[in-house]
Structure 1
Amino acid sequence: MNKPARKVDGLLFDKDGTLFDFHTTWSAWAGDLIEDLAQGDAAVRARLASEMHYDLDERRFRPMSPIVAGTNREAAECVARAVPDRKVEELEIFLMETSAAAPQAETVPLAAFLQALAAEGLALGVATNDTEHGARAHLGKAGVVDKFDFIAGFDSGHGAKPAPGPCLAFARAMGLAPGRVAMVGDSTHDLLAGRAAGMQTVAVLTGTATRADLAPLADVVLPDIGHIPAWMIA
């Protein structure tokens, strides 16, 4: 029996909130970061929480936090507004180093999931607004860095989402028409980038955005990436 035709030949994943659960990883990291930078000063703690759009009581990012989908540089600029005695460049390095060590919670068991996709002949990539260093560190800790044909951070020379540069770079590297690639992500930045590149867009609900936020920009909204194989042949 012939296999059903699939919708795509390549999948380009966002990292945080897509491959890894956002709140389990980044909300916990941010809470510790705020305490570290505040050094017991309640006023500094409050300023950091305000600038980062972070709920100190819930220990969670608010959905519209500029850090959720922003680059490491944008996060450093955000933090610097609350601690003006610290240089943005210094904070950028500090955030990169501490975030690279943040524990990751996989949204699905990634090794088996990615192995199954690769066995189907799909090209696999990651495009994140984190640094490439951070992306490789997190994927390496999960034991899946070698499962991807392409890994790009905002600092890899292709630009940052929501611009289409990272998406187009993946398509070029894999020799694929953009329309045969799906950009998979948990934020409007991901979906806007994919649409601008002429790709299909798959939204997942493992980040901070809601279905209502994502649906207008997505070809499909899924609970998590584990539902992608069924979508590809539906």
Structure 2
Amino acid sequence: MNPPFADVRAVLFDLDGTLIDSAPDLGAAADKLRTDRGLPSLPMEQYRPLAGAGARGMLSVAFGMTPEHPEFADLREEFFVNYEACIHQRTKVFPGVDTLIAHLHQTGTGWGIVTNKAARFTDVLVKATPLFSSAGAVISGDTTPHPKPHPAPLLEAAARMGMAPEYCLYVGDDERDIVAGRAAGMRTVAAMYGYLGTQTSAQHWGADAAINSPLELLQLISAP
């Protein structure tokens, strides 16, 4: 019996919470904003669920602050400076990602990265991770005029890889990933081991499948 996505020719991945566990560095950058102001440090467990939301998520945890707050822009830039200083001190690929990427490479299945992270951060992380050198496309949040959940970044990745969207699979750990994938005409997989956010339950995102570890993806795309 063929796996459900046997016809997939390329797999696109979100970055934070899907390929890499960047929560420790994102949380540390946000927590430094607190300690620099004489506020007590918060436990990493509070930052982790919103790590996929970047500065917006981290500032909401650290200060209960939304983008509408008058100090948001200044604190966001200070957060970015903090993050650049520690961007890959604690960040690691999730267990099994190395084996997964190696399998895709060996079987001739294209793969790429589509993230809402700004290129100033994405490029540093990709260069610092030799495993990612075989990516056929790396699309950041500012590569196209619209970030996810708009389908533009996913369609740009497919175009750069010379793949029709219907032969692409998108894997992500946030509802916007699934929304973007569906809008792009791709099939989607929810990475249940990721950050998942704090909004709707992942079971209601409408993904075509869900995985609890990176290597479970192989069961969906490859015959045993």
**TM-score normalized with structure 2 length:** 0.78
Q: 1:197 to 1:12 in 2, by over 3 A?
A: same
- The 1-side partners of 2:157 and 2:195 are apart by 25
- The 2-side partners of 1:141 and 1:227 are apart by 26
Q: CA deviation at 1:62?
A: 6.3
- The 2-side partners of 1:19 and 1:229 are apart by 14
Asked if 2 retains the 8 angstrom alpha-carbon contact of 1:188 and 1:213, the reply is yes
Counterpart code for 2:178 = L
Partner of 1:37: 33
Asked if 1 retains the 8 angstrom alpha-carbon contact of 2:11 and 2:168, the reply is yes
- The 2-side partners of 1:77 and 1:17 are apart by 18
Query: Over residues 41-88 of structure 1, what are the superposed CA-to-partner deviations in whole Å (9 max), with x where a residue is unaligned?
Result: 23xx59xxxxxxxxx34633264x4x5335x5x468867958939725
Asked if 2 retains the 8 angstrom alpha-carbon contact of 1:124 and 1:150, the reply is yes
Counterpart code for 2:216 = H
Asked if 1 retains the 8 angstrom alpha-carbon contact of 2:25 and 2:88, the reply is no
- The 1-side partners of 2:166 and 2:142 are apart by 25
- The 2-side partners of 1:85 and 1:60 are apart by 19
- The 2-side partners of 1:188 and 1:85 are apart by 24
Q: 1:188 to 1:139 in 2, by over 3 A?
A: same
- The 2-side partners of 1:188 and 1:86 are apart by 25
Counterpart code for 2:38 = D
Partner of 1:104: 91
Runs of 4+ in 1 over 4 A off after TM superposition: 74-83
For the pair 1:205 / 2:205, whether they are aligned, the reply is no
Q: 1:222 to 1:200 in 2, by over 3 A?
A: same
Counterpart code for 1:32 = A
Q: Secondary structure at the match of 2:20?
A: coil
Query: Over residues 179-230 of structure 1, what are the superposed CA-to-partner deviations in whole Å (9 max), with x where a residue is unaligned?
Result: 1100001111111110010100011122122894245421111112211122
Counterpart code for 2:9 = D
Partner of 1:69: 53
Q: Secondary structure at the match of 1:126?
A: strand
Counterpart code for 1:187 = D
User: Once superposed, what is the RMSD of the aligned Cα atoms?
Assistant: 3.3
Q: CA deviation at 1:177?
A: 1.5
Q: 1:204 to 1:108 in 2, by over 3 A?
A: same
Query: Over residues 127-148 of structure 1, what are the superposed CA-to-partner deviations in whole Å (9 max), with x where a residue is unaligned?
Result: 1111223223223333123110
Partner of 2:215: 226
- The 1-side partners of 2:171 and 2:73 are apart by 35
Q: 1:191 to 1:95 in 2, by over 3 A?
A: farther
Q: CA deviation at 1:150?
A: 0.3
User: How high is the sequence identity, in percent, across the aligned residues?
Assistant: 25
Q: 2:155 aligns with which of 124, 143, 168?
A: 168
The alignment of Structure 1 onto Structure 2 pairs a total of residues equal to 213
- The 1-side partners of 2:30 and 2:76 are apart by 18
Q: 1:41 to 1:129 in 2, by over 3 A?
A: same
Q: CA deviation at 1:95?
A: 5.1
Stretches of structure 1 lacking an aligned partner (at least 5 in a row): 47-55
Stretches of structure 2 lacking an aligned partner (at least 5 in a row): none
Q: 1:190 to 1:95 in 2, by over 3 A?
A: farther
Q: 1:221 to 1:191 in 2, by over 3 A?
A: same
Q: 1:202 to 1:179 in 2, by over 3 A?
A: same
Q: CA deviation at 1:36?
A: 2.0
Q: CA deviation at 1:122?
A: 1.2
